[in-house]
Structure 1
Amino acid sequence: MPAILVLTTISGLESGKKLAKTLVEERLAACVNIVPYVKSTYRWEGKVVEDDESLLVIKTDSSVKDKIIKRIKELHPYELPEIITLDVTGGLENYLNWIKDSVQQ
C-alpha cells in the first residue's frame, strides 16, 4: 500500500503536539511535522474568519487511512476539522518503506 499525507490545522502549538504524539504513539502515523504558524482565512457560519493555527503534515500508510481520519476526528477540538489526504506518488523508497514499517497494520 502506498504512503499518504494527511493535513490538518489546529489551534495552538500545544494542541498540535498532543495530537501528533498520540498519532505516532498509537502507530497511526510514522511522523508528524508541525508547522507552528499559519494564518487561515475561511468562511464559517456565514462570516469570513481569520485564525492563527498550526499545520500538521502527517505521514502514514494508506492502509490506516480510515482509522487515522476517525482518530483525528475523536481527538480534534474543532467541530469540523480540516482533514485532507494526499496520495504520495513517489519518493525515496527506503523512506516510504520506513513509513509502512512504522505504522501498525
Structure 2
Amino acid sequence: MNSIALVQVTFADAAEAERIGADMIAERLAACVTIGEPCRSIYRWNGAVERGREVPATFKTTGMRARALAAAILKRHSYELPVIETTAAEVDPAVRSWVEESTR
C-alpha cells in the first residue's frame, strides 16, 4: 500500500506554525508542512463558547513517524490542549518514496 500519514494541527498564529513546521522538517519528522491562511474557529472551552483566529497546518510523514511527530509538536505548541489529528492518505509510489527518504 502506498500510504503516508497526514498530521493536521491548528496554531495560534503564522509565526508559531512556521517555527514548529521548520523544526519538524529539520528534525526529519516530516517531509513537508503546508501552512494555510488564517481561519476562524468556534469551540467550547472551559464551559464557554469561544471564537478565535487560527492557522492550520498539514504535515506529511510516514505512518511510523506520525506518533513521534505529534509528540514533538505537542511539546512546542502554545495551546494547553492542541488538537493533533492523524489520518492515512493514499499517494503515488514516488510521493511515498520521497516522504520516506525525507524522514530518515
TM-score over 0.5 for the pair: yes
Gap regions ≥5 residues in structure 2? none
Identical aligned residues as a percent: 29
Counterpart of 1:96 in structure 2: which amino acid? R
TM norm structure 2: 0.94
Cα offsets for 1:12-47 (capped at 9, x unmatched): 111110010000000000000000211111100011
Residue 102 (1) aligns with residue 102 (2): yes
Q: What's 1:93 paired with?
A: 93
3-state SS in 2 of match to 1:9: strand
Gap regions ≥5 residues in structure 1? none
Aligned residue pairs total 103
CA contact (8 A) 2:37 2:56 kept: yes
3-state SS in 1 of match to 2:7: strand
Give the aligned CA root-mean-square deviation in angstroms. Answer: 1.2
Instruction: After the TM superposition, list the runs of 4 or more consecutive aligned residues in structure 1 that deviate by more than 2 angstroms.
Output: none
